[in-house]
Chains A and B, each alone.
Chain A
């Protein structure tokens, strides 16, 4: 198949960047999107040009490294998957495909399509952990957790921190990410001791990292490769209200 690629090229953080057009040969509809980019890069290297820099690691949809906005949609047109799980058969023969990096002040572009997502690490460092020494392995059912809570916590824990929620949100808000991390721990017994501090510190760090606020457009939920629900944002809002207004700990 033939496609025309309009790829964002940016030499460094300080470069203004621009789109460059590529018309790769030998593209198969069975290739994954990243394999297609590999082919483009091989052609560029053969021509003595700089290959396109893009993030990738596991290529199995679980690590959260790949991060491309394809034709205006984070992770491309296929729902519930990361870019590495997207295949060229999702595109029409002859289609023009725009490839851009995540665009957010909190995710500055390092080179081409690679962004610095260490802001998420700093948000996690602000409270996305349990510092209580849990001791050795507990006996089964020693800490009873309702099945429904365990399921919700597991859903939230599916977040791979790719940042698609930020990329898709018109406000570049990281609320879905923060809400998944806060939900996961607030639903489980181990997360209770630092519950109020966690939500306040993580939200404050989110703001310090220059991410915007949530306006409930639901774009984050729509593009999340792990289909994290905005129900967790509602829980985050409840956790914030409780922590800010009534918690002894907050």
Chain B
């Protein structure tokens, strides 16, 4: 079997795929949050940002296809590894006590499934406008500001977004640290810095995303 075959079939190779695709998606989250922060610069800023993105369809669709591939690779490797891992212990322990494992590291499949469900809802909500058809009916194609304000005035929608992002933070909390370990980046010289920066990035991303529904719901942005 050649090298690429091993990457797609062996568990360590699948972990590489999961790590690299996950890192690409983290890169997207950084870009997405940076754009969303324009909400605080007023309606014109974020609406123009949305308009500019659509002005370059080739760039937009290339990025989208790249991200869709990353999502599929991440899900494929995650599901395949999870199935193998479940099979490896057919009989569970009566008592389990974790010594070092953190809650995020134990619940990656669950948090990942919730994040995936949230992502699909998020696309149906803002990209395809399926979930809030009537509320968004009179709005222009690029009136992102109004869509966000109308949506996040609802406590149900805001709570769902906040909860999903907390789970996303949990997922990233372990995922980012795991990315470096999986790619073999582990040395006592910098392990502390890598771990701290990974956790910091997951917290910054979560706080940034959570601030959007919260600031709208409590009327700081209207």
- Interchain CB contact under 8 A, A213 and B100: no
Q: How many residues of A contact B (CB 8 A)?
A: 49
What is the CB-to-nearest-CB distance from B20 to chain A, in angstroms, rounded to a whole number? 11
Contacts of A244 in B (CB 8 A): 3, 6-7, 10, 13
Complex interface bits, B1-45 against A, C-beta within 8 A gives 1, otherwise 0:
001001100111111100000000000000000000000000000
- Interchain CB contact under 8 A, A230 and B186: yes
What is the CB-to-nearest-CB distance from A83 to chain B, in angstroms, rounded to a whole number? 15
> Is A21 close to B, CB under 8 A?
no
- Interchain CB contact under 8 A, A103 and B91: yes
User: Which residue of chain A is the closest to B177 with respect to CB atoms?
Assistant: A216
Contacts of B55 in A (CB 8 A): none
> Is B99 close to A, CB under 8 A?
yes
User: Which residue of chain B is the closest to A237 with respect to CB atoms?
Assistant: B184
Of A203, A211, A218, A235, the most chain B CB neighbours within 10 A belong to A218
Give the contact stretch, choosing among A30-38, A67-75, A127-135, A186-194.
A67-75
- Interchain CB contact under 8 A, B11 and A105: no
Q: State A19–B7 Cα separation when bound (angstroms).
A: 42
> Is B95 close to A, CB under 8 A?
yes
Q: State A173–B102 Cα separation when bound (angstroms).
A: 17
Contacts of B93 in A (CB 8 A): 69, 72, 100, 103
- Interchain CB contact under 8 A, A213 and B99: no
> Is B68 close to A, CB under 8 A?
no
Q: Enumerate 29 A-B pairs (CB-CB under 8 Å) in ascending A order.
A: A8-B94, A69-B95, A72-B97, A100-B94, A100-B95, A105-B90, A168-B99, A170-B85, A173-B85, A203-B10, A204-B10, A207-B10, A212-B11, A214-B11, A216-B174, A217-B100, A217-B105, A218-B105, A219-B98, A219-B100, A230-B181, A230-B186, A231-B187, A234-B181, A237-B15, A237-B184, A244-B3, A244-B7, A246-B3
What are the nearest 9 A-B pairs in CB distance? A234-B186, A72-B97, A212-B88, A238-B184, A213-B11, A171-B85, A222-B99, A212-B85, A72-B95
